[in-house]
Amino acid sequence: MENRFRAIRVALLFIFLVYLLLLLKVVLFKVASPLTVFEYMLKFNLVDFKRNVNLGSNFVPFKTISSYIFHTANQNIVIRNVMGNLILFIPFGFLLPVITGRNLNFVSLMTISFLLSLVLELIQLFSRIGSFDVDDLILNTLGALIGFITLNVITKIIRFRTKTIN
């Protein structure tokens, strides 16, 4: 039985690593290769950085989300950006507590999710391959919360069914 749980844990760890690679591909390498991103970061230019911060960044919470919802006629853009950022981090919130083998509490998971999202946003900002958006931080962290809640609900259902069977 212990070997079976170990095999499941290894499989879930593999799935988590594949998920993280896909997350990097979607967030950072959708337009550029890893070498290009690294090259852009090495060629850091304060003038370009300031321009990118002023023109392409959002530091006001819910500004982009409300703009998408209330001022965008194309609903595909709303779905792709708002729902995409939510969905992107659901597996993180679900898998991280499972693969760590310990119970992460709500605050710990939210902190780790927020920090991962922040690192990804900062890489986009400094490499100029994307834009920094505080709303992405909010949506990504909320997505992780959805994954975390889903895991807890599934765990409670399994425990309840196990108790009723025994």
pTM: 0.86
Q: Using H for helix, E for strand and C for coil, what is the string for 150-163?
A: HHHHHHHHHHHHHH
Copy the structure tokens of residue 158. 């399994």
The arithmetic mean of pLDDT across residues 143-147, rounded, is 97
pLDDT in tens, 39-65: 777 777 777 778 777 888 999 999 988
Instruction: Identify the band that residue 81 occupies on the pLDDT scale cut at 50, 70 and 90.
Output: confident
Per-domain residue ranges of the chain: 2-165
Q: Using H for helix, E for strand and C for coil, what is the string for the chain?
A: CHHHHHHHHHHHHHHHHHHHHHHHHHHCCCCCCHHHHHHHHHCCCHHHHHHHHHHHCECCCCHHHHHHHHHCCCHHHHHHHHHHHHHHHHHHHHHHHHHHCCCCCHHHHHHHHHHHHHHHHHHHHHHCCCCCEHHHHHHHHHHHHHHHHHHHHHHHHHHHHHHHHC
**Confidence at residue 166, expressed as pLDDT on a 0 to 100 scale:** 61
**Confidence at residue 53, expressed as pLDDT on a 0 to 100 scale:** 79
Residue with the larger pLDDT of the pair 2 and 66: 66
Among the ranges given (79-93, 118-132, 143-157), the one the predictor scored with the smallest mean pLDDT: 118-132
Give the separation between CA 109 and CA 115, rounded to whole angstroms. 10
**Confidence at residue 112, expressed as pLDDT on a 0 to 100 scale:** 96
Instruction: Report yes or no: 69 and 82 within 8 Å, Cβ to Cβ.
Output: yes
